[in-house]
Amino acid sequence: MKYKIIADSSCDLNEDLKNKLKISLVPFKIDVDDEKFTDDENLDTLELIDAMKKSPNPVRTSCSSPGDFVEKYKSTDADNIFVVTISGNLSGTYNSAVLAKNMVNEDEPNKFIHIFDSKSASVGETLVAMKIHELIEEKICHMEIVERVEKYIKEMKTYFILENLDNLIKSGRVSKTKGLIANVLNLKPILGSDGDGNIKLFENVRGTKKAFRRLVELIGETGEKLEEKILAISHANALEKAEDLKREIQKRYKFKDIILVKQGGLTTAYANEGGIILVF
């Protein structure tokens, strides 16, 4: 039996993971004023960051249509397709992928397609894709893969710290008042998933260094059996900061592995320059 993994372009990958997982990505569209970006391998995130800095307006993103997913489903000869999407509470991508599945199964009822709502984003999707690949390699049947991956998603922890909140304020995800208070008081909010894919404020910490120290502490307070898990970090043009965080985590915890990736366009559009996302 042949298997294929498909994800939306919020799934951030490095070159090693691209070569290993061979994921097909369905790109988001990103608009900054009159500039239009397609979130694929040709997108220059530094150009996107520059455009966002110059604009007083919110970034506009649009998820892929059901037709885009249908095209991906039909372009593979795999009879088992696993799809990973950004949290359904943050985007309509999950619904597009499900509608596409229904459309394809009308013509090809024997093609197995399962869509996973990652309840996360960025490297949260990456870790889910890695888990799927691991289970495929173990030659586990497709329904057991679904069961075990859904359990994995429920246990995942997602946290992020943003250097500035401009894009979340512009998009309305953080109020202007809260953003102003954070800037005046030099507060760095530790945000993350509430477990169901919604953005939750965990703590406000004064100063970037203290915020990252607290983030490292939260890993130990909220995680279990860390030695059995992979931790993933993504960054928006902040490699040095991400590497420093990785070293601090390695000093305190014995994860099975820690991977580091640069954020793609969709993640950068909301995390903004300097943003760090951590998932395990």
Q: Looking at the domain covering 3-28+63-155, what would its CATH class be?
A: alpha beta
Res 167: pLDDT: 73
Residue 91 clears pLDDT 90, i.e. is over it: yes
Task: Give one DSSP letter per residue of 51-102, joined into a string.
Answer: HHHH-SSPPEEEPPPHHHHHHHHHT---SEEEEEES-TTT-SHHHHHHHHHH
Residue pLDDT, tens place only, 138-154? 999 999 999 999 999 99
The share of the chain scoring above pLDDT 70, in percent, equals: 94
CATH for 158-279 is: 3.30.1180.10
Res 1: pLDDT: 82
Q: Which of 223, 221, 214 is nearest to 189 (CA)?
A: 214
Res 118: pLDDT: 98
Residue 87 clears pLDDT 70, i.e. is over it: yes
Q: In what order do the strands lie in the sheet with 257-262?
A: 199-206, 187-193, 158-161, 276-279, 230-235, 257-262
The share of the chain scoring above pLDDT 90, in percent, equals: 89
Mean pLDDT value across the chain: 93
> Residue 165 — pLDDT band, cuts 50, 70, 90?
confident
Residue pLDDT, tens place only, 224-240? 999 999 999 999 999 99
Residue 183 clears pLDDT 90, i.e. is over it: no
Residue 100 clears pLDDT 90, i.e. is over it: yes
Res 175: pLDDT: 58
CB distance 101 to 24 below 8 Å: no
Res 178: pLDDT: 54
State whether residue 262 is helix, strand or coil: strand
Res 218: pLDDT: 97
State whether residue 44 is helix, strand or coil: coil
Q: Which of 58, 33, 272, 30 is nearest to 176 (CA)?
A: 58
Res 184: pLDDT: 46
Q: What is the mean pLDDT of residues 20-46?
A: 97
Q: What is the mean pLDDT of residues 83-110?
A: 97
Residue 75 clears pLDDT 60, i.e. is over it: yes
Helices (H) and strands (E) in the chain, counts: 11, 13
CB distance 4 to 11 below 8 Å: no
> Residue 166 — pLDDT band, cuts 50, 70, 90?
confident
Residue 164 clears pLDDT 80, i.e. is over it: no
Sorted by where each begins, the domain ranges of the chain are 3-28+63-155, 158-279
Q: In CATH terms, are 3-28+63-155 and 158-279 the same topology?
A: no
What number of other Cβ atoms are within 10 A of residue 258's Cβ?
18
Residue pLDDT, tens place only, 209-219? 999 999 999 99
Exposure b/e, 121-158, CB count within 10 A at least 16 = b: bbbbbbbbbbbbbebbeeeeebeebbebbeebbeebbb
> Residue 163 — pLDDT band, cuts 50, 70, 90?
confident
Q: What is the mean pLDDT of residues 19-26?
A: 97
Q: Name the strand (E) or helix (H) holding 230.
A: strand 230-235
